[in-house]
Structure 1
Amino acid sequence: MSRFDETVEEMLAHIDDLGGPRSYGNYPAGWGWAMGAPFQYYKQTASHLGGVRNDLVISWPSRIKDVGKVRTQFHFVSDIVPTILEATGIKAPETLEGVQQKPLDGTSMTYSFDNARAPSHRRTQVFETMQNLAIYHDGWWANTTPLEAPWDFFKPDQKTGGDNREWQLYDLRKDYAQAVDLSKREPTKLKEMQALFWSEAKANNILPIHAPWEGPKGRPTALPPGKSFTFKGPISRLPTTAAPNMIGKSFTIVTDVDLSGAQASGVIVTHGGRFGGYALYLDKGVPVFHYNALGTEQYNMRAAAPLAPGRHRVRVTFQIEKPVAGSGGEFRMALDGQDAASVHAKRTIATRNSLREGLDIGQDTLTPVTDAYSIENSGLQGRVNDVTFTLGD
C-alpha cells in the first residue's frame, strides 16, 4: 500500500469501477468520521466513542418482556459470551483438551433484561489501538487525543511516547457524545483515571505501547532474525506478517526454477495484488517483473528473450535511493548471471505490499498484481525449487 494524491481526472476515470472487483473495499477517512456522528473520531481510534461504540440488539421472545426498549448500561464485546452461557445455563469449561482455561473476561448482561435502571455490572474497561488510549470506570471516560489523523499516517516527524500524549476527561453520565472535556476542571479525577489505565493495561497485557510505524515490537514472528530468508515452493497466501519486509530497503530476490517446456508461463513469486505489490512471472518463457505502486505508478521489466526448458536462476535486485519508506530506486533483472533488464521507479510502496493478500510462490491467488496475467492461468508451468530474499539496511 502506498500514499499518493489522485487527481480529479484520475478518480473520474475509474468512477464506474466503484463497488466492483477493481475497487478496494475501504472508505475514505472523512466518511468514517461522518458515520461516527455524533461521537468524535472514527474506526481505529479506540480513545473515543466514535471508534468503539456500537449498537447491540438482543432478541429472546420467551424471556425478554420489555420488547423494543433501550438499555443504557455500559458493556463490552467480551460480555457477550458470558451472557449466552448464563442464558443457556452452560458453565464454561475449566479445561479444554487437557489445557487449563483462563477465566472469562466478561460480565453477563442478563440482569439488564428485567431492569432498565439497574446499575451496570461492567464497571471498568480499558481500550488501546494504534496508540489511541482510553479507560472507562463508573461512568467516567479518560482518553488520549490521537497522535495522527489517518491522512497523516506517513508523517516522519510524528511525536510518540507517554510524555507527548494529551489526555481528555468526560463524564458519560451527563455527556453522551463526549462534547465537554473536563480535564482542566477535574485534574484529580483525570490523574486517578490515568493511573487506572496503566494498571489495567498491564493486567491485560497491552504493554508495551508503541507507534504503528515502529513495527510489532515484542510480538512473536514466524521469521527468524536476520536479513536472508529462503522459501521452498509452492506457497499460497503466506501472510504479510510472516513474509520478508522489504519496505524502505534495498533487496535481492533470487529464484531457482525448473521449466517444464518451451514458452512456459506462470508466476514464480508474488506478494500483494491489484492494490499494491510485485510479481515475477513468465510470459511464454520471457521473464517479467512488475512492481505495482498503485495508480499510474506501474514499473515493468521484461527480458528480451524466453528461457529454454530446464533449470534457471532468475534474480531481481532493487537499489533504493534513500532508506525511507516509499523512496524510489533502480530495479534490475539478471538471468543465469547475465543482466537482462532494468527500470527506474519514481516511488515504491510505503507501508506494506498488501493488507489482505500475502506471499505466493509458483502461483498467484486472490487478485493479480498486473492484468498481464490472470489468477486462473497463474500456475507456473514448471517448478520453483526455492526463493531467497536478501534485505539491505
Structure 2
Amino acid sequence: MPPCVRVSALYTVQDPTPRSQFHHVCDITPTIYEAVGITPPEHVEGAAQIPLDGVSMVYTWNNVSATGRKDSQYFEVMGSRGVYKDGWFASVFGPRIPWADPNETRMKQWNPDTDVWELYDLTKDYTQAHDLAKQMPEQVEKMKQIFMVEATRNKVLPVGAGLWTIYYHPEQGPRSHLKEWYLYEGMTRIAESNAPIFHSGFSSVATLDVEVPKNGSGVLYCVGGTAGGFSVYMDQGYLYAEYMATLLYRYVTKSSAPLMPG
C-alpha cells in the first residue's frame, strides 16, 4: 500500500500515552501553526494562497481519547493509491511493488481500472493484517469513489501520470540540450534535468582525466540517487564501477590490481 503515517509521538509531559487518532504528515504544519498561534495568510504579496490541507493535532495533547478530527486522507505514489475515511482504509498497488523484482509484464500491461483494492478496518486492525475487500465489496466501491473525489480535488489525475516520462516515455522527460559536459574538481551536484542522461534507452561515454595518488580513494564520477545509479570510484588504489538498480540489485566490478600513481 502507499505510505501511511499514524502520528503517535505528540503527547503532553503529564500523559505519555501514544495517541491513536489517525493523522498524516500533512497535519504537522497545521499543528505547529496552532501551537505557536500562527494564522496562515490568505494572500501573500497580492497572490492568493492555496488552502492549507491538514488537520491540527493539538486537540489530542490534553485528551488521549479525543474523537479524531481527521475524517479523510488520500495517498498516491506512482500509481499506487490509498484512501482513509472514518476508520476505514482502502489501498491498491500500481504497476510497481517496492519489495518485488521489477516486472516488465506488469508495467507494460498495467491498467489502473483493473487493479484489485484491499480494505481494512483500522479501528480493529491497526496493522492492516486482515483484508476485508471480498467480504465488503460495497464498502470498497464507496472508498474508491472517495479516492476519486479527493484525487480530483488535489489534481492527482490521471492516476500514474508520474510514470509517463520515468518509465513509459523517458525521451519526453526534461533534459539538457548539451551533448558534452566538463565536470571539474569541487563540483558536487548537478540537477538531473541538466546532467547526462542515465536511464534505459540512452548511452553515454565518460572520459576521466585524473591525477592518481598512491592508494587513492574517492569518487571519480557518479550519477543517480539513493534508489539507484552508477558510480566510478577508487578505494585504496583499486578502481571500482558500481551499479545499483532500485535498491534491489547491486553490481560491483573491481580492477585486478591498484592503479599506478600518475
Q: Is TM more than 0.5 here?
A: yes
Give runs of aligned pairs for residues 164-175 of structure 1, distance below 5 A: 164-175=114-125
Which one-letter code corresponds to 1:272 in the other structure?
A: V
CA distance in 2, matches of 1:290, 1:57: 43
RMSD of Structure 2 on Structure 1 (CA): 4.0
CA distance in 2, matches of 1:151, 1:57: 27
CA distance in 2, matches of 1:230, 1:296: 26
2:230 corresponds, among 270, 277, 285, to 277
Unaligned runs of at least 5 residues, structure 2: 213-217, 234-238, 244-249
- Distance change >3 Å, CA 144–CA 200, structure 1 → 2: same
CA distance in 2, matches of 1:155, 1:114: 48
Which one-letter code corresponds to 2:116 in the other structure?
A: E
Aligned to 2:33: 85
Aligned to 1:249: 201
What is the CA distance between 1:208 and its match in structure 2?
2.5
- Distance change >3 Å, CA 79–CA 53, structure 1 → 2: closer
What is the CA distance between 1:276 and its match in structure 2?
5.2
Aligned to 2:61: 113
- Secondary structure at 1:73 match in 2: coil
Question: 1:315-371: CA deviations, max 9, x gaps?
Answer: xxxxxxxxxxxxxxxxxxxxxxxxxxxxxxxxxxxxxxxxxxxxxxxxxxxxxxxx8
Aligned to 2:190: 238
Aligned partners of 2:90 and 2:119 also within 8 Å: yes
Aligned to 2:215: none
CA distance in 1, matches of 2:139, 2:120: 10
Aligned partners of 1:126 and 1:134 also within 8 Å: yes
CA distance in 1, matches of 2:51, 2:164: 32
The answer to whether 1:265 aligns with 2:218 is no
Give runs of aligned pairs for residues 298-317 of structure 1, distance below 5 A: none
Question: 1:20-56: CA deviations, max 9, x gaps?
Answer: xxxxxxxxxxxxxxxxxxxxxxxxx41xxxx424443
Question: 1:280-339: CA deviations, max 9, x gaps?
Answer: 9xxxxxxxx975345443589xxxxxxxxxxxxxxxxxxxxxxxxxxxxxxxxxxxxxxx
- Distance change >3 Å, CA 120–CA 137, structure 1 → 2: same
TM-score, with structure 2 as normaliser: 0.70
CA distance in 2, matches of 1:189, 1:135: 12
What is the CA distance between 1:135 and its match in structure 2?
0.4
1:68 corresponds, among 7, 13, 16, to 16
Which one-letter code corresponds to 2:253 in the other structure?
A: E
Unaligned runs of at least 5 residues, structure 1: 1-44, 281-288, 301-370, 378-393
- Distance change >3 Å, CA 136–CA 181, structure 1 → 2: same
Give runs of aligned pairs for residues 199-238 of structure 1, distance below 5 A: 199-210=149-160, 215-216=165-166, 222-223=174-175, 229-231=179-181, 234=184, 235-238=187-190
CA distance in 1, matches of 2:26, 2:112: 27
The answer to whether 1:187 aligns with 2:151 is no
Instruction: Work out which structure has the larger RCO, using CA pairs closer than 8 Å and 6 or more positions apart in sequence.
Output: 1
Give runs of aligned pairs for residues 353-392 of structure 1, distance below 5 A: none
Aligned partners of 1:142 and 1:170 also within 8 Å: yes
TM-score, with structure 1 as normaliser: 0.49
- Secondary structure at 1:177 match in 2: coil
The answer to whether 1:160 aligns with 2:98 is no
Aligned partners of 2:88 and 2:122 also within 8 Å: yes
- Secondary structure at 1:154 match in 2: coil
Which one-letter code corresponds to 1:120 in the other structure?
A: G
Aligned length in residues: 235
Identity of aligned pairs, percent?
29
Aligned to 1:94: 42
- Secondary structure at 1:79 match in 2: helix
Aligned partners of 1:142 and 1:168 also within 8 Å: yes
Question: 1:228-284: CA deviations, max 9, x gaps?
Answer: 6444654531134542334333535487x9x9xxxx7389x83338x852559xxxx
Aligned to 1:56: 8
CA distance in 2, matches of 1:75, 1:173: 13
CA distance in 1, matches of 2:113, 2:103: 19
CA distance in 1, matches of 2:18, 2:242: 49
Give runs of aligned pairs for residues 118-129 of structure 1, distance below 5 A: 118-129=66-77
